[in-house]
Chain A
Amino acid sequence: MSALARLDFDGVAGGYGDADVVRGVSGAVAAGETLCVVGRNGVGKSTLLKLLFGELACRAGSVRFEGREVAALDASARRALGIGYCPQERPVFDDLSVRDNLTLMRADRSVDAFAPLFRRFPVLGRRLAQHAGTLSGGEKKMLSFARGHAEALPLWLLDEPSEGVQWENIVQMAELVDEAKAAGRALVVVEQNLAFAERIADRYLVIDQGRVVLEGRAGTIDRVRLLAHLHV
């Protein structure tokens, strides 16, 4: 990978307990690019993201962020370096209002900076005072996405951002991803929804049984083989 790589991971392995769900996965993503990680359920996509973010410790392999080795750092340290994460499960703070979810770690509670996001996702702007726990699954994902987008961190990891989201809003998400890429951010997106993945991916990493079975640039990858790995 070129020297511009934002994230570079090599032979990453790890899992829960002492079971290895991810068994030696390598990949890279440069600034301004999106790497889409796809595969069926249970193959280790979410686990891979957790290993990259530091929520799980790597049993093997290296993870380099902007050239710097981070595999030994925990999640807080990696966040401080500029890696953002939107998890798949429990993506928002259910007990807090939508406004608080968006502004928790910001300087104040003002949502002025979010105006463009509210134009794309009006439901969020309407429900600022509501508890996030009362939102639907898709709305929570939109909230999580908006929060991650506003964080504007150099590396952004997303786990199934489109899960439960309606198509109109998925299109908005795709456009926001383009904005993020244009701003120079690198994204790693785990996705189950191939139509969304096809809109945003610059590179693909196809996982099966914890290993990479197919990878390549979006234009050159064999779509038929890709589908075969996703189908039941």
Chain B
Amino acid sequence: MRANGAATALRVGAAALALTALPLLVGDFWAYQLGLFYLYAIAALGVGVCWGRAGFLPLGQGLFFGLAAYLSGLALIAFEQRPGWLLLMLPLAVCVPGALAFAIGVLVFRRRGESGPYFSMITLALALLAFQVANNWESVTGGFNGLKGIPGLPGLDSYAAAYAVAAAALVAAALLVAWLYRAPLGVLWAALAQNERRVVMFGFDSNRLKAVAFAASGALAGIGGALYAPQQGLVTPQLVGFALSADLVIWAAVGGRGSLLGPALGAIAIGVLSGELRDRFPYWEIVLAIVFIAVVLFAPEGLAGAIAPLARWRRRRQAQADSPAIAAPPRADAGRAARLELDGVDVRIGEVTILDRLALSFDRPAIYCVIGPNGAGKTSTFNVITGELAAQAGSVRFDSRAIESLPAHRVVRLGIGRKFQIPSVFPALSVADHLAIALWSARARPLDLLRPSLRRWSSPLLDALRARYPFLADGTRTAAALSHGERQILELAMALLGEPRLLLLDEPCAGLSPQETAAVIDVIRWVRTQHGATIVVIEHDMALVRTLADHVFVLHNGKVLAEGTVAAIQADPAVQAIYVGAAK
């Protein structure tokens, strides 16, 4: 990753050079005007973080920009003669919007999957509300006419100085975002935009991750806003309201929301263009709206995508080739045998009973198979264990600890891993990133997620898996480019890499060729002996069950119908009856 980091720094460095050269070309005054759009560009980077990376749409970023601008303006007016205080107040003007964004994120991102539209609507409402407050609270904000007479930053009086500050801030912000994108945090954001459930199944609190992304965007908008006040000398309610919020989203989209510098490029290019054309050409904004729709529909890469597609691809291939691996720390609870007990678990959805006072016990490290007809409740049992399905009654105890009311990511952290029936991976992420995420699961502490070096983590198990499955060694391929069989194995490898003490596999061989199936059985057995894990497999294929199972549970109508060795349940007439159908 060092090479990748160097390449990014080079890109940003080149841009910085261009920024520095600009005043020499267009003169100090025009550069100063441009500097305003640099500040907007910083806020647009924040929209890119939320929308382009983490997959949710903030419609009210003006709130944070304007809030920072008001705070900064008030501080500059109040402490004009005491620059020491300003050194404290101005960073505060950046932190307050960031903290507010985090608080809103925590409040809104509570339930998985349903928060997207709610979030957008609430951010929109907050921006409109903030506009009203800024308009009405004349004593503090100056009302409709705004906060006037804000002095510039101390010691920076010329156009050239103001421009330099804006340019430097933009470069710093871009480097910050570049770092976040390279860090595990950025990878997790991209992952959760593609498959949130899978990220949760690795023990990450997806809602907290989204709140952090939103906080970062709030802070970025805060940087722009805090510098806006001294640059322009005037802060009006328009900043806080809807218009800037809308513009930021448009700029991020047209510039290319998925890339690092795309949103900044959009803000500068389209912002300047709009400024020039808005008054001269009355239909400019209509054209821009159509361009926005067209970009989202047909060209999501935006301007940035049009400019630099090839260079990025080449850089990535190089980067992967020459990064030395770092050993990942071991799991804290490795080696401890797992015990899981379900007792009297009742799950009802409306009129339908899914699980009927289900009682199951996995009390020693072994390979258990769960079989049964469709609708017997096998996958639902897994969902109850991992905390994704709430039981109306009964208890689930893992190592004698009740886990039925824990959220899914906490359950996973206790040492439970899961592989879904349909390969559940991150289509746009590389194989290397997938494996890295699996390693971070339950091993990376929260602050570790900010260290890019974690992307080079490796473990002996990973080496062994790469040896068995050579395609895993080619880290640059994206999951979308893999075949179905390879995706199944990738997800299995990810589940194994977490080294869970209890591993839940839902039809791990579905859709695999006989050779692939044999290889998977091999790996499952090997993990069982090497790591002493308890493995529970849902399977339909009786040949597999015969090969693998130490103990079999037969589920029917949400209850355990029979259990025992494979031979025992094969001889059981009740089991045969449910498969063949009772005559009477």
Contacts and interface: CB of A to CB of B under 8 A. Distances in A.
B578 to A, nearest CB: 9
Interface in B312-344: none
Nearest to A195: B583
Interface string A40-51: 111100000000
Contact of A232 (B423, B483, B570, B584): B570
A224 to B, nearest CB: 13
Given A231-B570, A231-B580, A232-B575, A17 B351 contact: no
A133 B580 contact: no
Contact of A41 (B374, B423, B569): B374
B542 A232 contact: yes
Nearest to A133: B351
A41 B484 contact: no
Interface stretch (A18-26, A62-70, A76-84, A113-121): A18-26
Interface size class for chain B? Answer: 20 to 34
A172 interface: no
A230 B580 contact: yes
B579 A20 contact: no
A42 B370 CA distance: 13
Nearest to A134: B351
Interface residues of A, number: 27
Contact of A194 (B422, B510, B511, B581): B581
Contacts of B584: 167
A20 B581 contact: no
Contact of B579 (A19, A21, A40, A167): A40
Interface in B563-584: 569-570, 575-576, 579-584
B121 to A, nearest CB: 27
Given A17-B422, A42-B507, A230 B579 contact: yes
Interface string B483-500: 110000000000000000
Secondary structure at the B interface, as helix, strand, loop or mixed, is loop
Interface string B521-549: 00000000000000000001110000000
Given A16-B422, A20-B511, A227 B580 contact: yes
A200 to B, nearest CB: 13
A49 to B, nearest CB: 13
B136 to A, nearest CB: 47
A232 B567 CA distance: 10
B583 A21 contact: no
Given A16-B422, A17-B423, A19-B422, A42 B540 contact: yes
B422 A192 contact: no
A134 B351 CA distance: 7
Contact of B580 (A15, A162, A194): A194
Contact of A192 (B484, B541, B579): B579
Contacts of B371: 232
Interface in A132-154: 133-134
B373 interface: yes
B580 A196 contact: no
A193 B579 CA distance: 8
A209 interface: yes
Contact of A231 (B422, B483, B507, B579): B579
Contact of A19 (B372, B373, B510, B580): B510
A108 B509 CA distance: 49
Contacts of A17: 422-423, 484
A219 B67 CA distance: 83
B583 A162 contact: no
A41 B510 contact: no
B509 to A, nearest CB: 10
Contacts of B570: 231-232
A117 to B, nearest CB: 24
B480 to A, nearest CB: 10
A57 to B, nearest CB: 16
Interface in A53-75: none
B540 A15 contact: no
26 contacts: A15-B511, A17-B423, A17-B484, A19-B423, A20-B484, A21-B511, A41-B373, A41-B374, A41-B579, A42-B507, A42-B540, A42-B541, A43-B540, A133-B350, A134-B351, A162-B581, A167-B583, A167-B584, A192-B579, A192-B580, A192-B581, A194-B580, A194-B581, A196-B581, A231-B576, A232-B576
Given A41-B579, A232-B569, 5 more contacts: A16-B422, A20-B484, A133-B351, A230-B580, A232-B575
